[in-house]
């Protein structure tokens, strides 16, 4: 696990953008697993700039997103398809037909999940998976639970998550209660993982992620078992890690 602590959100976004653009430059046809939420917005803005400056080229990249709310169409402003189009895809030279987000309006959600995993397999797996983290330890929408799932599946959102995500909706009643999410297995199969966290409200969970017990109650703790994880966090999110700013590389673990 490589841990990079940055001064603030802006620097976190720049460092993560460099990780990702360097990765694409070393593998122009990379399959990127992408994430939504407030945290990666700055990173997407940086990648848009790098693309405009011709420092990174998305023309051969394929993207596959982690999750989507069930019941929202891609035109709904809070759907993750809408988020990706309006915060990223519309501003870069990616081929939209090679961007995948689960269909939250599929008639048969279970079948949609099976097809999504087939799609990932057909693409040869995910090369680099980008993640945020919920303050309850969720990744994608894999919520704390007694057990976790390998593959893409439908899930009920945790109360904490509904509350946290209600800031994006007019009222809490509008927040969907269910979502489609890639499973922990799908995430762990990615060859490389880049996780971002920013702000004091993530400090507790970041400590669990980096040095806590590996438990399904903190789904992100599973990442301790991955061979190639880069965690980019700002100082506020590193508050409980007794570190200083600048680049800090934690001794590499993983299987």
Catalytic residues: 67, 136, 138, 143
Q: From 45, 59, 65, 51, select the one nearest 21 (Cα to Cα).
A: 51
In the complex, minimum distance from the CB of residue 67 to ligand GLP, in angstroms, rounded to a whole number: 5
CA diameter of the chain: 50
Q: Which of 21, 36, 79, 99 binds ligand GLP (CB under 6 A)?
A: 36
Q: From the centroid of its chain, how far is CA 160?
A: 18
Q: What is the number of other CB atoms lying within 10 angstroms of the CB of residue 246?
A: 10
Per CB under 6 A, 83 contacts ligand GLP: no
Per CB under 6 A, 175 contacts ligand GLP: no
Per CB under 6 A, 104 contacts ligand GLP: no
In the complex, minimum distance from the CB of residue 245 to ligand GLP, in angstroms, rounded to a whole number: 21
Q: From 153, 158, 118, 116, select the one nearest 135 (Cα to Cα).
A: 158
**Tokens 């992408």, located at residue:** 34
Q: Which two tokens stand for residue 186?
A: 């799908």
Per CB under 6 A, 154 contacts ligand GLP: no
Which residue has the CB atom at the shortest distance from ligand GLP? 132
Q: Which of 165, 188, 219, 232 binds ligand GLP (CB under 6 A)?
A: 165
C-alpha 128/C-alpha 149 separation (Å) is: 20
In the complex, minimum distance from the CB of residue 201 to ligand GLP, in angstroms, rounded to a whole number: 8
Contacts (Cβ under 8 Å, ≥6 apart) of 95? 59
Q: How far is CA 213 from CA 76, 97, 114, 162, 195, in A?
A: 38, 41, 31, 25, 18
Question: Which residue lies nearer to ligand GLP by CB, 60 or 240?
Answer: 240
Candidates 21-29, 55-63, 114-122, 134-142; binding stretch for ligand GLP (CB under 6 A): 134-142
Q: Which two tokens stand for residue 74?
A: 């891609």
Q: Which of 38, 71, 125, 212 binds ligand GLP (CB under 6 A)?
A: 38
Question: Which residues form the interface with ligand GLP (CB under 6 A)?
Answer: 35-39, 66-67, 132-134, 140-141, 161, 165
């Amino acid at each position: 696990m490589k841990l990079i602590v940055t001064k603030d959100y802006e620097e976190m976004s720049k460092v993560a953008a460099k990780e990702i653009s360097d990765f694409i430059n070393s593998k122009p046809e990379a399959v990127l697993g992408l994430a939504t939420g407030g945290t990666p917005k700055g990173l997407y803005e940086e990648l848009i700039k790098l693309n405009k400056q011709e420092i990174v080229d998305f023309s051969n990249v394929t993207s596959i997103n982690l999750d989507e709310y069930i019941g929202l169409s891609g035109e709904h402003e809070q759907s993750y398809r809408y988020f990706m189009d309006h915060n990223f895809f519309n501003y870069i030279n990616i081929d939209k037909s090679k961007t995948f987000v689960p269909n939250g309006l599929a008639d048969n959600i279970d079948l949609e999940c099976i097809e999504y995993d087939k799609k990932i397999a057909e693409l040869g797996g995910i090369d680099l998976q980008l993640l945020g983290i919920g303050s309850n330890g969720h990744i994608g929408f894999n919520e704390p639970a007694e057990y976790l799932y390998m593959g893409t599946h439908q899930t009920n959102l945790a109360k904490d998550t509904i509350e946290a995500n209600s800031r994006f909706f007019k009222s809490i009643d509008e927040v969907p209660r269910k979502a489609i999410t890639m499973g922990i297995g799908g995430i762990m199969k990615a060859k490389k993982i880049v996780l971002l966290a920013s702000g004091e409200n993530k400090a507790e969970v970041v400590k669990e992620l980096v040095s806590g017990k590996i438990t399904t109650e903190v789904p992100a703790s599973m990442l301790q078992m991955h061979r190639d994880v880069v965690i980019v966090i700002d100082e506020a999110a590193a508050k409980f890690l007794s570190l200083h700013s600048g680049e800090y590389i934690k001794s590499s673990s993983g299987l």
